[in-house]
Structure 1
Amino acid sequence: MTDNNDTTASGASGGPDDRVIGTPASAEGETIVSGAEEPRREHAGPYPAEETHKHSEEEQRRAEKTAAVWFLIAFLAGIGFFVAYFAWGPNAEGEQAIADPQIAQYSNMALGGTLALSLFGIGAGMTVWARRIMPHYEVSSPYDELPSSPEEKSSFSEFFMKSADESGFTKRPLLRRTLLLSMVPLGLAPIVLLRDTGPLPGDKLKKTLWEDGTRMVVEGTNQLIKAADLAEDGSMVTAFPEYPHNEEHPHGLSLNDQAKTVIMLIKIPEGDFKPGMSEQQMNWTHDGIVAYSKICTHVGCPAALYERGSHRILCPCHQSTFDAADGAKVVFGPAHRPLPQLPIGVDDEGYLIAKGDFSSAVGPTFWDAEKGD
């Protein structure tokens, strides 16, 4: 009991060791952080800074020339980037330049090397500028109150301009001009590189090899398709347009043409088509067989899965789901428009044929979708 009373009495006396850890000191001027009891130095302005080192004018002139040399190297390397692009780029020797791997290797080395040297030159020049021309300061900022005082707010512009003047950007035209000069080629480089992305597709995706009278073949074969081949309800076949295999086209359809023309032929019972199918869309079918583009309108994956019970077409990439019995309208997922429908019919021999091209542009919406699709 005596010890407890002594402790209570000691705590009431306000001794330095009797308060709860983490609470501020009760005595005025008492601090917790070691060394904080030292009086704060008074500073003249709102941004107190003590200059620790200033280079002599002779040192600054030498550094200015060094930085300017680096900026000029960066400029010349930037010009070399353009020279390399047009000397070994895709337009240097037409298709031969693209097909020759040695030319492609030289092109990559030249483009990468000149671009790297240009960026390095700018970085080296800026480093010399900062370390050997600008004055060095040790800046402190007290954290007494979070809001800035009116004096600090009003003096910011003056402080900023003083910093810009001391950096040498305004009074050293050699540095300023060579720095800006070195950045000109880098600013133009992205514009040149955009040429390699190729032209915009325009209306190319609205036109495919499908046209009136084109027969269909089963994917991976040259087997023509008859309507009788899809007699069973729920049947699904992946097909391409019939294309000649000859010396000019030894492999038939190119990969690009395959991606644009691949279709799904689906046999749907007549009574399962939904009222949402327009009369024109119904006219594009034949004996319950409907043809849709197999390329998902989200990002271009193949919508390769079909569930015959619900007549749903599923794209496995992002789960976009389309209703085959309702014009392939989107019923779930990120796709924004239906799969394009191909009008079909049969010829005199009973083979399935196209009656024209797709109803809308094939592929992802961001390529060439019409408003309202």
Structure 2
Amino acid sequence: MSESKNHPTSTEVGAHTAGELVHADRFPDPGVPEHKPRLTDTDPKAAKRSERIITILFVLSALGTLGTLVAYFAVRPDGTTEGVRLSTVLLGVAMAVSLLGIGVAAIHWAKTLMSNHEYIDERHPTPSSPEVREVAVVALQQGVEDAGLARRGVLKGAAVGALALFPLTVAVPLISSVGNDWNVGKFRHTLWKKGVRLATDPDGRPLKASDLTVGSIAHIIPDVPAEERETEEWITEKAKAIVLLVRLNPEDIRSEQREGASYEGIVAYSKVCTHVGCPVALYEQQTHHLLCPCHQSTFDIADGAKVVFGPARRPLPQLPITVDDEGYLVAEDDFSEPIGPSFWERLK
């Protein structure tokens, strides 16, 4: 079937399109939109008001940095939950003021005082000619003049001061921690030892085997005297010793890390994930799986807490348990191996 003379062929359409591209310079250049001046461009009082606002924001940032240092040195965590919470909140609020002051001031400066003229910068082969470089230098100088750096000394001083002080919020804590104790061997041992009773977290109530039914779980800490729980070291030691206790049917237990480490189907495993140390506390009753909420590492507590999914590479350490003469659950020893993530001095 022959093509109609009234319709162009695909080749003709392609050639026509190519011709349009070649002669695209025939279309008029829309140019730069008309510049609309801001209030600060036409009203000196508005410009001065914006300058004061920006200066105040930079000063607030500097005060926030100083507040961070005060909070870091004056409100140290005292080992209690309330003390840690207060220190964290003060540090966070002060650092937020420091960062937000710089950020909001920079945005407000750019929107109200810096030049907002639009310019066309034609592309040229590199390197640029000396004439173009000279024009670029002039443009940069003009930009500096438009930003008002030379005639706004107070604002410039506030900005430099805020930016110069802010790194102290990070540098001072890092420098002051150089002398901290980095003895990772402390992870080899916890508060658990032979005869220490298992107590519920956080009320510290000793737990009997009869208190648990099949399928029930309990969050466990060592039963220590009340006065010890008030010491500064208690939070650190408690964090290493936290345990999840689960009662299974004895016949469901396929393996343990130590022979006889459970008691009548009750098993106890460290809650500190062996990946990066997050608390493992999500229990799935039907599969006997423990899930770490941070990175989804999954452990089978019916099979020695072996890893069945996720980035963890080691089972959760098991706490060997039994009961004392009064029927209370007690530890027979410390964990079967060091708790938490692997470290360079770990033997296994």
- The TM-score range, normalised by the shorter chain, is 0.5 to 0.7
Contact 1:343–1:357 (8 Å) recurs in 2: yes
After superposition, the Cα gap between the structure-2 partners of 1:184 and 1:255, relative to the gap in structure 1 and judged at 3 Å, is closer
Contact 1:74–1:118 (8 Å) recurs in 2: yes
Contact 1:344–1:353 (8 Å) recurs in 2: yes
After superposition, the Cα gap between the structure-2 partners of 1:20 and 1:66, relative to the gap in structure 1 and judged at 3 Å, is farther
- Match for residue 327 of structure 1? 304
Kindly, what percent of the aligned residue pairs are identical?
A: 24
Match of 1:302 among 264, 281, 285: 281
Q: Based on CA coordinates, which of the two structures has the bigger radius of gyration?
A: 1
C-alpha distance in 2 between matches for 1:162 and 1:119: 29
- Match for residue 56 of structure 1? none
SS state at 2:165 partner: helix
- Match for residue 39 of structure 2? none
C-alpha distance in 2 between matches for 1:182 and 1:294: 43
Match of 2:330 among 353, 366, 373: 353
C-alpha distance in 1 between matches for 2:309 and 2:237: 28
Match of 1:77 among 44, 60, 65: 60
Contact 2:318–2:335 (8 Å) recurs in 1: yes
* Per-residue Cα deviation, 1:213-265 (whole angstroms, up to 9, x for no partner): 21235788544338xx99x9x88764635636768879xx9899489422325
CA positional deviation for 1:292: 1.8
TM-score, length-normalised on structure 2?
A: 0.57
- Match for residue 185 of structure 1? 165
- Match for residue 314 of structure 1? 290
CA positional deviation for 1:210: 1.7
The unaligned stretches of length 5 or more in structure 1 are: 12-17, 42-47, 54-58, 142-147
C-alpha distance in 2 between matches for 1:371 and 1:321: 22
- Match for residue 197 of structure 2? 215
Contact 1:323–1:330 (8 Å) recurs in 2: yes
TM-score, length-normalised on structure 1?
A: 0.54
C-alpha distance in 2 between matches for 1:154 and 1:340: 65
SS state at 2:164 partner: helix
- Alignment: residue pair count: 317
1:1-373 → structure 2 map (5 Å cutoff):
8=5, 23-24=13-14, 26=16, 37-38=26-27, 73-85=56-68, 91=74, 116-127=100-111, 130-131=114-115, 136-139=117-120, 141=122, 152-155=125-128, 158=133, 163-168=139-144, 178=157, 179-191=159-171, 207-216=189-198, 222-225=206-209, 238=218, 240=220, 243=223, 257=238, 260-264=241-245, 268=250, 272-273=254-255, 277=257, 281-282=258-259, 284=261, 290-297=267-274, 299-307=278-286, 312-315=288-291, 317=293, 320-324=297-301, 326-345=303-322, 347=324, 352-362=329-339, 365=341
Please report the RMSD computed on the Cα atoms of aligned residues, expressed in angstroms: 6.3
C-alpha distance in 1 between matches for 2:191 and 2:281: 19
Contact 1:304–1:316 (8 Å) recurs in 2: no
Q: Which amino acid aligns with 2:26?
A: E
Q: Which amino acid aligns with 2:62?
A: I
After superposition, the Cα gap between the structure-2 partners of 1:240 and 1:76, relative to the gap in structure 1 and judged at 3 Å, is closer
